[in-house]
């Protein structure tokens, strides 16, 4: 069997936390419209319960991501790698800001735009990670 390493455990934790953050948003996007008609009074409780899982997951993502970067010799990387990394970091920042706007905003626009941008930027950050991990 291939031996587990600290590196493989770090990537595993990064991806499990990404699955919670991104997967949870997609599952909620499917559930919320049904909940809005079936049990509108439960919406806030469900949203808060998800936030209590999603934000710790984001902390794990940032921690394991920074840990990963610390194992790379970033100074030796080529321009393509650096540009991809910068775009990924921008997407992470935008996803966090959009999700905060989604949670804190009261208007329909803040909810809809914040939620949609939060998910899209998270997906873009995830694809940026795949590009970085599989750069030759």
Question: Please, which residue, 77 or 111, has the CB nearer to ligand HEM?
Answer: 77
Cα–Cα distance list, 95 to 39, 41, 111 (Å):
28, 27, 14
Question: Please, which residue, 3 or 70, has the CB nearer to ligand HEM?
Answer: 70
Residue 134 Cβ vs ligand HEM, minimum distance, rounded to whole Å: 6
Residue 108 Cβ vs ligand HEM, minimum distance, rounded to whole Å: 25
Q: Are 84 and 131 in contact (CB under 8 A)?
A: yes
Task: Find the angle CA(125)-CA(131)-CA(135) to the nearest 5 degrees.
Answer: 150
Contacting positions for ligand HEM (CB under 6 A): 11, 14-15, 18, 21-22, 61-62, 65-66, 68-69, 92, 122, 125-126, 129-130, 132-133
Tell the residue number behind the tokens 């998910």, with chain if given: 119
Residue 67 Cβ vs ligand HEM, minimum distance, rounded to whole Å: 8
Task: Find the angle CA(36)-CA(40)-CA(44) to the nearest 5 degrees.
Answer: 105
């Amino acid at each position: 069997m291939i031996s587990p390493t600290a590196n493989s455990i770090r990537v595993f934790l990064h991806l499990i936390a990404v699955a919670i953050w991104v997967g949870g948003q997609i599952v909620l996007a499917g559930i919320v419209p049904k909940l809005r008609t079936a049990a509108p009074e439960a919406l806030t409780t469900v949203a808060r319960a998800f936030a209590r899982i999603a934000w710790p997951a984001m902390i794990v993502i940032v921690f394991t991501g920074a840990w990963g970067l610390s194992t790379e010799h970033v100074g030796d990387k080529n321009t393509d790698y650096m540009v991809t990394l910068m775009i990924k970091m921008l997407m992470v920042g935008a996803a966090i800001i959009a999700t905060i706007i989604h949670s804190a905003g009261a208007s329909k626009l803040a909810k809809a735009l914040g939620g949609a941008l939060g998910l899209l930027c998270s997906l873009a950050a995830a694809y940026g990670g795949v590009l970085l991990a599989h750069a030759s």
